[in-house]
Structure formats: structure tokens, C-alpha cells
Amino acid sequence: MSVLADPRLRRAALVAAVVLALDQGTKALVQRTMRLHQSIRVTSFFDLTYLRNPGAAFSLFRDAPATIRLPLFLLVTVVVSAALVSYLRSTPVERTWTVVALGAILGGALGNLVCRVRYGEVVDFVYLHWGEWYWPAFNVADSAISVGAVVLLLASFRRGD
């Protein structure tokens, strides 16, 4: 039986593919049209700012040597992706939102993995701020992971989604 014969895997793979395409497309657009560290004000609280993050979320481990940081991040991504697929296979077919959330998280993880393999760091460009408060820059992959995690959490409180 084909892996994609399973409707859960097929749905999650579709969501992951859409997230991956949007993530890589937006990152390519930013790299083609902006200079590194260039910032474009979009609204009073949102800038497009082309940055590269060698670290993990919130720039954790950014100062660790690349010889340690990159293999560690790649290993973590592969292990987490395998765990997501395993969880997905055990998820009841009728738990649509759980399947979609897992697909979004997987697509986001793969989007950042592509950057790490290609550049050794992740391209970020969404920069939110309010007054003197600034949120670390992020990208479509990071957004998909975050939204997927919130949906997964909310879905866990429901008997069926």
C-alpha cells in the first residue's frame, strides 16, 4: 500500500507541500529583491527585514560553532519530523484539524531545514514591533510551526475535530 493512500498522510503532505512552497517562495523573493539587513516599513508595527539566523528559535545557539550547531539542528529536525509522521499515522482519520496542524508543523520544519542545508542558516524577514517592544524576526515556516502548534493544542481539548 502506498504511503499516500492513507488519507491522513495525503492531507498532511498536501499542507506540508503548500507551506514549504510558500516558505521557499517568500524567502527567494526577499533574497532577490532586498539586501541583507535592509528593512522596509509596511505598517507602524510590521517591517519586512531581510535577516539570516544561524541559531534556532529566538536565535538560540547562534554563537555555537557551525560544526556543532548545524549537525545538531539537522538531527533534531529529522527526529522531530519522524515523530510527527509517527503521531500522524496514529491520529484518527476524523481528526482533520490535528492532521492539518501536523502537516503545517512538518512543512515549517522542512522549510527551515532546506535553508539550513543550503545556507547553514535560516532566512527571516517578518519583523513585528510595537513601540519599544520587538519580536524576533521570523518567516513563513516559523509561522506555520507556531500556528500548527496552537491548533494542535486547541484540538487536543476536543474529543473530535
The 3-state secondary structure of the chain reads CCHHHCHHHHHHHHHHHHHHHHHHHHHHHHHHHCCCCCEEECCCCEEEEEEEECCCHHHCCCCCCHHHHHHHHHHHHHHHHHHHHHHHHHCCCCCHHHHHHHHHHHHHHHHHHHHHHHHCCEEEEEEEEECCEECCCECHHHHHHHHHHHHHHHHHCCCCC
Which member of 23, 47, 142, 161 is catalytic? 142
Which member of 6, 23, 47, 124 is catalytic? 124
Catalytic status, residue 63: no
pLDDT band at 159 (very low <50, low <70, confident <90, very high): low
Model confidence over 109-138: pLDDT tens digits? Answer: 999 999 999 998 999 999 999 988 999 999
Q: What is the pTM of this model?
A: 0.89
